Structure 1
């Protein structure tokens, strides 16, 4: 695609989704089946309103049907499925139905909480609608076909996606609500994270452990004997994930994160990407002031290069009490965010110094997760 968006001063190229690829492959195969001739390219419409003209690859025929592939182009979005070829095989039915299923490399749903029933191929509702619409344009209302979407390398690629955690086994998902990949789409990332809460709730879980990233997950793995099913990443979207937890009626949440990330929550910052807001040193400085630190001590923290360096400085001042105050404040702010409808506790840690503090409610939740 030659459409672009500028983000953070960078010109980034749009791409198209696995859903668009599946719809295009299915339409091309249906048209070749109907007309008895090969196609070099195929055009489809997307829910975003943009039309795509895509190259048709690896055309094959047998006695029953036609298959072909479309190569996924994710644009400048970092995506494990970029470059994959999504195939469709189409054959006639004796009725007027369009039956769509997944073959090799398309995952199967094994857990509730997704927009697809358990046991079905992981082809999301919008791509299903796209496939049917595009095929109907070709075959009309009086014919029917069986459509198989398959991806030979799908199972190999799936391990690099969220699918295993979501209970989608055997391959990737056919995704896309707009048919278009917007490079570095924050909304798409948040939707993926929120799905984990939905799946956890459907599995009967009412308490979760939120970690911003791998550091928190590693700390839990190395220090506590917890079942990993409770652990969910929030990335930078801590406020959004708390909102989603409340929406799904999660009862208890233990926040576990590096002080450099969670300290922002103590200042009421719930989107923790540094380009959105920072304030780490300023929050530390404010609490050091409460504890009676000297102007020179406060200045040294404000001038520190990293939060890790600031932690070392604070320990040298013998002001470790600050970490307990911060853990309590993070919990307080998170409770405000969720209108106290969720029980919340906090653990903050440093890479160099380990666990720095656990708030009082966090200590209680630790015991519950141990049980």
Structure 2
């Protein structure tokens, strides 16, 4: 495995997905079921083209079935499933529905309960790519003539499980996506790329897609927890409309536009949205951090005195700046900046068909400002 990648000049270790773990465990369990011999490692190919050799653990070798596990390794990526054990149980059963290989979810693997995902409602959350990987690697072991290997009228049943899956799933996006009871077996390449923004963005976009397929034509975008709490506690709106953008505001706006959402309400903390007002659509501090400069320039345009601008320049956080602005009675600043956010978003989307309004709040969930037509759009979501 090409073990390391370099990002911004730093060395990071790659990992492998839950899909690769489930595939390796399935292949190892199948091999040991047929040979009745324990093995220490197993080789698999990944869609990325990087082969893996993984350690086989927790082997239970029986006459009727074999179960084993592979330990998930997320590399240097921030991953809730890192170090958890993904199990596969292989057994030979009477053929059902004409299927040679049956792959199902066991304990700790989530079940899909809402439309819009790549797995049907009611099925185990084992995504299409891992499902293909499992079938491909198992057929290397059992061959194409299933009857010759397993016996006439027999099928191979694989059950994927994760003993800590239900607990770990609470730290993932699964509850938001309507996947209950455990983790998902995922991965489109088999390899975890450390610090991968692309993987994160795709997981956020899935929720947008799911809500669209459920029939929603309007959406509320918030950066994270604080935005959700503001929508729920201060506006009392239905949370089914709310989707997180994290720092990827521009990406999620374009995704919402692509999917056909025509009404977008945005609610965010001033620390994020002050950047948005200047056309910064990825609000991570490593990408752009010009909060002080944007605050100062907007206050200067309002003819704020120089000593006020100096105080703002000394503020370490947007929250500190809010206190200074409020103490000096420049609160109309917030509506002006909210309207600038709206203008930049409309400019970014490049159309007049999508209705967008913006709300800005402080850390204690106090409403600071809003764009001109926010109140009428808010009512649409009630």
Q: Alpha carbons of 1:132 and 1:219: their partners in 2 closer, same or farther (altered >3 Å)?
A: same
| Corresponding residue of 1:256 | 267
TM-score relative to the length of structure 1: 0.95
Give the counterpart of 1:194 among 205, 209, 219. 205
| Corresponding residue of 1:147 | 158
- Asked whether the 8 Å contact 1:255–1:346 carries over to 2, the reply is yes
| Corresponding residue of 1:122 | 125
| Corresponding residue of 2:151 | none
Question: Which structure 1 residue ranges, 5 or more long, are not aligned?
Answer: none
Shift of 1:322: 1.4
- Asked whether the 8 Å contact 2:2–2:50 carries over to 1, the reply is no
| Corresponding residue of 2:249 | 238
In the TM superposition, 1:325-364 aligns within 5 A as 325-338=336-349, 339-351=351-363, 354-364=366-376
- Asked whether the 8 Å contact 1:90–1:147 carries over to 2, the reply is yes
User: Aligned to 2:102, what secondary structure does the other structure show?
Assistant: strand
- Asked whether the 8 Å contact 2:234–2:365 carries over to 1, the reply is no
Shift of 1:96: 6.9
Shift of 1:170: 1.4
1:180-223 Cα deviation digits (max 9, x unpaired): 11122111111111111111112222222111121212222321
Shift of 1:158: 1.2
Shift of 1:15: 1.0
| Corresponding residue of 2:150 | none
CA distance in 2 between partners of 1:161 and 1:304 (Å) = 34
Question: Which structure 2 residue ranges, 5 or more long, are not aligned?
Answer: 147-154
In the TM superposition, 1:205-244 aligns within 5 A as 205-244=216-255
- Asked whether the 8 Å contact 2:339–2:358 carries over to 1, the reply is yes
CA distance in 2 between partners of 1:343 and 1:281 (Å) = 29
- Asked whether the 8 Å contact 1:335–1:341 carries over to 2, the reply is no
1:73 aligned onto 2:76: no
- Asked whether the 8 Å contact 2:16–2:72 carries over to 1, the reply is yes
| Corresponding residue of 1:138 | 141
CA distance in 2 between partners of 1:202 and 1:96 (Å) = 30
| Corresponding residue of 1:286 | 297
| Corresponding residue of 2:45 | 45
1:86-106 Cα deviation digits (max 9, x unpaired): 111112355672221111111
Q: Alpha carbons of 1:366 and 1:261: their partners in 2 closer, same or farther (altered >3 Å)?
A: same
Q: Alpha carbons of 1:138 and 1:323: their partners in 2 closer, same or farther (altered >3 Å)?
A: same
| Corresponding residue of 1:275 | 286
1:86 aligned onto 2:86: yes
CA distance in 1 between partners of 2:183 and 2:192 (Å) = 16
CA distance in 2 between partners of 1:353 and 1:233 (Å) = 17
Shift of 1:352: 5.4
User: Aligned to 2:163, what secondary structure does the other structure show?
Assistant: coil
| Corresponding residue of 1:58 | 58
CA distance in 1 between partners of 2:352 and 2:246 (Å) = 22
Give the counterpart of 2:380 among 351, 365, 368. 368
CA distance in 1 between partners of 2:130 and 2:256 (Å) = 27
Shift of 1:242: 0.6
Shift of 1:11: 2.8
CA distance in 1 between partners of 2:20 and 2:47 (Å) = 10
CA distance in 1 between partners of 2:365 and 2:73 (Å) = 44
User: Aligned to 1:105, what secondary structure does the other structure show?
Assistant: coil
1:9-34 Cα deviation digits (max 9, x unpaired): 54322111100000000110111122
In the alignment of these two chains, the number of paired residues is 370
CA distance in 2 between partners of 1:281 and 1:202 (Å) = 41
Shift of 1:298: 2.5
Shift of 1:230: 1.6
Shift of 1:61: 3.1
CA distance in 2 between partners of 1:162 and 1:262 (Å) = 24
